[in-house]
Chain A
Amino acid sequence: MTTSPPTATPTSQPPAKRTLRDYQSDQEPRWCPGCGDYSILKQVQTVLAEENVPPEQVVFISGIGCSSRFPYYMRTYGIHGIHGRAPAIAFGLSVVRPDLSIWIITGDGDGLAIGGNHLFHILRRNPNVQILLFNNEIYGLTKGQYSPTSPLGKVTKSSPWGSPDEPVNPIAFALGSHASFVARTLDRHPTHLKETLRAAMHHRGAAFVEIYQNCNIFNDGAFELYTDKKTQPVHALFLKEGEPMTFGPNNQYVLHWTGTTNQQQEEPFIVFRQDDTPDTLTPFTTRNRHLAWALAWRLHPVSVPVYRRDGTPTEESITLPRPFGIFFQEERPTYQEHLAHQLEKAREHIQPIAQLIQGELTWTVS
Chain B
Amino acid sequence: MGNAPSAEATSPSSVVVRFAGDSGDGMQLAGIQFTFESALEGYDVATFPDFPAEIRAPRGTLYGVSGFQVRFGQAPILTTGDQIDVLVAMNPAALKRNLHLLKKDGILIVDEDTFNNKRNLQLAGYDQSPLDTLEKQGYRVIRLPITRFVRETLKDSGLPVRTIDRARNIFVLGFLLWLFERNLQEAEKLLQQRFKQSAILQANLQVLRRGYALGETLEKGIPQLRIAVQPGHLPPGKYRTLTGISALALGLLLAQERAQRPLFYASYPITPASDLLHELAQYRRPDVYIIQTEDEISAICACIGAAYGGALAVTATSGPGFSLMAEALGLAVMLELPLVVIDLQRAGPSTGMPTRSEQADLLQALFGRHGEAPLVVLAPATPAENFHIIFQACQIALEHTVPVVVLSDLALAFGAQAWRIPENLNTYPTIRPPLWTNDNDAPYQPYLRTEDGARYLAFPGQPNTIHVLGGLEKKAPEGTVSYDPENHERMIQARRQKVLAVQKRLEPATIETGPEDAPFLLVGWGSTCGVLSSVTRSLNQSGIPVAHVHLRALNPLPPGFSELIQRAQQVIVVEGNTGQLAGWLRMLRLPVHHEIHWTRATVIPERWLHQQIACLLQNPDESPS
Contacts and interface: CB of A to CB of B under 8 A. Distances in A.
Contacts of B353: none
A82 interface: yes
Contact of A100 (B309, B311, B481): B309
B471 to A, nearest CB: 6
A96 B472 contact: no
Interface stretch (B85-93, B297-305, B449-457, B507-515): B297-305
Given A92-B264, A92-B301, A353-B254, A54 B463 contact: yes
A85 B324 CA distance: 13
A264 interface: no
Contacts of B481: 27, 72
B328 A85 contact: yes
Interface in B310-347: 310-311, 313, 327-328, 331, 335
B235 A365 contact: yes
A25 B481 CA distance: 13
A79 B335 contact: yes
Interface string B27-50: 000000000100110100000000
Interface stretch (A159-167, A290-298, A339-347): A339-347
Given A57-B460, A80-B472, A362-B240, A93 B39 contact: no
B466 A77 contact: yes
A366 B303 CA distance: 44
A95 B289 contact: yes
Contacts of A79: 304-305, 308, 335, 468-470
B42 A81 contact: no
Interface string B237-277: 11111100010001001100100001010100000000000
Given A96-B310, A358-B421, A363-B40, 4 more contacts: A55-B466, A71-B468, A92-B306, A95-B302
A206 to B, nearest CB: 14
Nearest to B193: A360
B485 interface: no
Given A97-B309, A346-B285, A363-B40, A353 B257 contact: yes
B333 to A, nearest CB: 12
A77 B468 contact: yes
Contacts of B560: none
A118 B237 contact: no
A362 B254 contact: no
A354 B258 CA distance: 12
Interface in A324-366: 339, 342-343, 345-346, 350, 353-354, 356-366
Most buried by B among A61, A121, A359, A363: A363
A207 interface: no
Ranked nearest first, the 5 interchain pairs of A and B with the lowest CB-CB distance are A80-B470, A92-B302, A92-B305, A88-B301, A93-B305
Interface of B: 36, 39-40, 42, 190, 193, 234-242, 246, 250, 253-254, 257, 262, 264, 266, 283-286, 289, 291, 293-295, 297-298, 301-311, 313, 327-328, 331, 335, 420-422, 425, 460-463, 465-472, 480-481
Contacts of B425: 353-354, 357
A74 B460 CA distance: 14
Contacts of B250: 353, 356-357
Contact of B190 (A91, A118, A343, A361): A361
Contacts of B302: 88-89, 91-92, 95
Nearest to B327: A82
B203 to A, nearest CB: 22
A131 interface: no
A364 B239 contact: yes
Interface residues of A, number: 61
A321 interface: no
Contacts of B308: 59, 77, 79, 89, 93
A25 B461 CA distance: 17
Contacts of B468: 25, 60, 71-72, 74, 76-80
B240 to A, nearest CB: 5
Contacts of A4: none
B298 A363 contact: no
B286 A92 contact: no
A89 B300 CA distance: 8
A350 B471 contact: no
A99 interface: yes
22 contacts: A11-B463, A27-B480, A71-B468, A77-B460, A79-B308, A81-B470, A82-B327, A85-B297, A88-B302, A89-B301, A89-B304, A91-B302, A95-B264, A96-B310, A117-B294, A118-B301, A342-B284, A357-B422, A360-B193, A362-B238, A363-B238, A365-B239
A141 B237 CA distance: 63
Interface of A: 11-12, 25, 27, 54-61, 64, 71-72, 74-82, 85, 87-97, 99-100, 117-118, 120-121, 339, 342-343, 345-346, 350, 353-354, 356-366
Given A358-B238, A363-B239, A88 B311 contact: no
Contact of A353 (B36, B239, B253, B294): B253
A93 B470 contact: no
A99 B237 contact: no
Contact of B466 (A56, A64, A95, A99): A56
A92 B471 contact: no
Contacts of B422: 357
A71 B39 contact: no
B460 A100 contact: yes
Contacts of A75: 466
B618 to A, nearest CB: 41
Nearest to A68: B470
A365 B327 contact: no
A300 B81 CA distance: 71
A77 B310 contact: no
A82 B471 contact: yes
A339 B420 CA distance: 35
B311 A96 contact: yes
B240 A358 contact: yes
A366 B236 contact: yes
A342 B289 CA distance: 11
Contacts of A121: 293-294, 298
A90 B305 contact: yes
A72 B469 CA distance: 9
Looking at A55, A71, A79, A94, the one whose CB has the most chain B CB atoms below 10 A away is A79
A362 B421 contact: yes
B294 A362 contact: no
A113 B436 CA distance: 38
Most A C-beta atoms less than 10 A away, residue of B190, B289, B335: B289
A75 B254 CA distance: 37
B239 A76 contact: no
Given A357-B422, A361-B36, A361-B190, A56 B460 contact: yes
A88 B294 CA distance: 9
A343 B286 CA distance: 7
A88 B470 contact: no
Contacts of A91: 293, 298, 302, 305
Nearest to A87: B298
A42 B568 CA distance: 68
Contacts of A339: 289
B451 to A, nearest CB: 26
B460 A88 contact: no
B237 A88 contact: no
B601 to A, nearest CB: 30
Given A74-B468, A80-B471, A346-B284, A357 B331 contact: no
A343 B264 CA distance: 14
A322 to B, nearest CB: 31
Contact of A365 (B234, B246, B283, B298): B234
Most chain B beta-carbon neighbours within 10 Å: one of A55, A80, A89, A345? A89
Contacts of B289: 95-96, 339
Nearest to A83: B327
A72 B253 CA distance: 36
A166 B35 CA distance: 61
A88 B305 contact: yes
B168 to A, nearest CB: 23
